[in-house]
Amino acid sequence: MIRLNNLSYHLPQGFLYKNINLFIDKGDKIGLTGKNGAGKSTLLRLISGEITPTDGEITKNKGLRIGYLTQDISIRKDISIRDYLERSNTEVFNLLKRNDEVNHLLATRTDYESESYTNLIEEITHINDRLTMLDAHQFPEKIASVLKGLGFKPSDFGRQIGDFSGGWQMRVELAKLLVNNPEVLLIDEPTNHLDIVSIQWLENYLKNFKGGLMLISHDRMFLDNVTNRTVEIANQKLYDYKCNYSKYLVLHQEEMERLAAAKKNQDKEIERTQQLINKYRAKANKAAFAQSLIKKLDKMDIIEVDTIERSAFSLRFPVNQPSGKVVLEIEGLKKSYGDHIIFNGIDMLLARNERIALLGPNGVGKTTFLKAVTKSIEFEGKIKYGHNVKIGYFAQDSAEKLNPDKTVFETIDDIAEGEKRKDIRKILGAFLFSGEDVDKKVSVLSGGERTRLAICQLLFYDFNFLILDEPTNHLDLNSKDILKEALKSYEGTLLLVSHDRDFLDGLSTKIWEIKNYQLKEHLFDVKEFLARIGEDTYDNQDKEDIKAKQSTTNKDVKTSTNQKIDKTLQKKIKKIETKIKNAERKIELLENNLSKKTIELESTDFNDTDMYEKILKEYNQLKQELDVVMENWEEALTNLDTLKSL
């Protein structure tokens, strides 16, 4: 269906690929892998036609339908989810619209014997045949099924896309691809914004997908369960393996060992030949022999061993002083924003050395619960720490909160105390920050590097109760494996939030599930939990059920719901609506500036370090400002929804 012929792509800092070839056929499900910066996302952009190659060509079957999900989506926000998806298939939408028009004409006209009336009958027949061929009459059901699988509740279908956060907008865009059943799917990190159940649903969907698929993901289990080919980008080349990711790792290691041995022999041969050339080059009677050796070297295909970084860092979280037997007591915990209740009446006890996986769909309040446990936010009820409990906390935004103007070394040096100061460079080296890397500014680090640095900070604090909120975000597969092994050997108490099933497997002794505003404890591991819940466990509750539950716990909410909105409430709504509009204008401005800065960054010579770092710093500042505005905008939307429901 798609063929890459001698394709090359050049950036200011050099070639990403040179003369690569690849064929994607129906039924191929390719996991695309490679180190950060190798060009995985760029390859998807090239195949989709978003950008053009420097050399070579990409040929596609005539009329081939390609669905492409990028990490940086651009989506309409002034339209409901249902309308957006229904309009996404232009042919079906136009046929249905014309179908209604023709049916109306047939019902209102009386010139049954005229040629134009006969033409209308023929047209409606043709339209219905085409709609049947496209299975268009099932389109609304398919839309509902896909949206439900991705975590939307039926009452969300009519809401405007702009009412949702960026992560949920990404789900809408993914739904658009899936409902239109393209022949080839190109998907870049689809699991980043999905909870565990939605990931399972998407996994099953893609396993049954009949077309071609190329997928970028850092979720090992997702890759293993979906893909049947693995393509690695390294050394400006593609390495194609006819197997899933885990099998590829074994085959790749064997191939690298074979290549390393071959290269060792070749290097010896080159060295011996060069010695002969140097020996006989100056001798007249041996000059021809020396020239033949030189030609031999020139024609030799030099063996290159994959230089992709696979070095592992040794990571341990030491426990210097154990806590008491009881680590955490929670009594009557309640958290709400205005009248919107997140959870209510939670009672729970956490004992020393217990390992808890905190699970629940996106938006249910997992991060809010961790913030309450760490007393980072205000709440109702009691949270009491046990004897000698010391908390280490990695928040979702820990990596983003690093000071961009400090170097890697300075970031750790600022918090290191006592004997640990002597080990800063050693520990940074264990986290893959060695040599000149320690002098890099945080602003130029990738997302994965920032996450590693934020986790590294934890080693310079003393704790026996470790709380981690999505620690694997932006980590590559190798770094995830190392972090997981460190957590397996951790001798303290662990409370962990993650949607990565492979990462969670084997780390927890209990499950805490947030559901229906409560915290439910399950005495089994993640695999059994997922097997038991199926796809329907996280079916979202109907709004009326939610309101009914809230009313039983908050009489004021019930009273305000049944009353007419008074003038004071109207003023509050108007004030928030103004805040939302101002935020949206600022978001649009920042997104435009960020887009321009991205183009400027891509066109800057990477070797011009000062200019590149200056532009990169400006880019990161814009991105951070956009994140803050987006967060405030989402909070305002939530408050507006709450007020309007009163």
The first and second tokens of residue 569, run together, are 């409430």
Residues 486 and 631 in one domain: no
Between the two ends of the chain, the Cα-to-Cα distance in Å is 54
Taking the C-alpha atoms of residue 99 and residue 478, their distance in angstroms, rounded to an integer, is 54
Burial status of residue 72 (CB atoms within 10 A of its CB: 0-12, 13-18, 19 or more): exposed
The first and second tokens of residue 148, run together, are 């439900």
Residues 536 and 469 in one domain: yes
Distances (CA, A) of 121 to 5, 118, 495, 589: 49, 5, 66, 51
SS3 letters across 47-58: HHCCCCCCEEEE
pLDDT in tens, 271-305: 888 888 888 777 777 777 778 888 888 888 787 76
CATH number of the CATH domain containing 579: 1.10.287
| Domain end residue (candidates: 219, 243, 267) | 243
pLDDT in tens, 172-200: 999 999 988 889 999 988 887 788 888 88
Burial status of residue 144 (CB atoms within 10 A of its CB: 0-12, 13-18, 19 or more): middle
Please state the rounded mean pLDDT for residues 421-450: 82
Q: 66 with 184: CB under 8 angstroms?
A: yes
Distances (CA, A) of 75 to 27, 70, 179, 582: 29, 11, 16, 19
Residues 519 and 390 in one domain: yes
**Is residue 426 assigned to a domain?**
yes
Question: Taking Cα atoms as reference points, which of 256, 637, 361, 315 lies closest to residue 483?
Answer: 315
**Is residue 533 assigned to a domain?**
yes
Taking the C-alpha atoms of residue 632 and residue 92, their distance in angstroms, rounded to an integer, is 38
Q: Give every CB contact of residue 135 below 8 A, 6+ residues apart in sequence.
A: none
Q: What is the mean pLDDT of the chain?
A: 83
**Is residue 346 assigned to a domain?**
yes
pTM of the model: 0.65
Q: Which amino acid is at 572?
A: K
Residues 56 and 186 in one domain: yes
Please state the rounded mean pLDDT for residues 351-365: 88
**Is residue 486 within a helix (H) or strand (E), and if so which, with residue range?**
helix 477-488
Residues 575 and 470 in one domain: no
| Domain with 413 in it | 326-542
Taking the C-alpha atoms of residue 78 and residue 325, their distance in angstroms, rounded to an integer, is 54
- Phi first, then psi, for residue 227 (nearest 5°) are -90, 155
Residues 512 and 433 in one domain: yes
Residues 271 and 413 in one domain: no
Residues 370 and 437 in one domain: yes
Q: 85 with 143: CB under 8 angstroms?
A: yes
- Phi first, then psi, for residue 508 (nearest 5°) are -115, 150
pLDDT band of 380, cuts 50, 70, 90? very high
Most confident option among 113-127, 298-312, 414-428, 571-585: 113-127
Total domain count for the chain?
4
The first and second tokens of residue 194, run together, are 């999905």
pLDDT computed for residue 555 by the predictor = 44
Residue 321 has pLDDT above 60, yes or no: yes
Residues 230 and 345 in one domain: no
Please state the rounded mean pLDDT for residues 34-40: 79
**Is residue 425 assigned to a domain?**
yes
**Is residue 390 assigned to a domain?**
yes
pLDDT computed for residue 644 by the predictor = 65
- Strand ranges (DSSP E) for 338-403? 340-351, 355-359, 380-385, 391-394
Residues 261 and 230 in one domain: no
Cβ contacts of 564-570, under 8 Å, gap ≥ 24: 565/646, 569/643, 569/646
**Is residue 113 assigned to a domain?**
no
CATH number of the CATH domain containing 213: 3.40.50.300
pLDDT computed for residue 243 by the predictor = 93
**Is residue 529 assigned to a domain?**
yes
Residues 334 and 470 in one domain: yes
Taking the C-alpha atoms of residue 440 and residue 457, their distance in angstroms, rounded to an integer, is 16
Q: 348 with 521: CB under 8 angstroms?
A: yes
- Phi first, then psi, for residue 69 (nearest 5°) are -110, 115
Residues 464 and 358 in one domain: yes
pLDDT band of 616, cuts 50, 70, 90? confident
**Is residue 571 assigned to a domain?**
yes
pLDDT in tens, 527-559: 888 777 654 444 443 343 444 444 444 444 344
Q: 319 with 464: CB under 8 angstroms?
A: yes
pLDDT computed for residue 371 by the predictor = 93
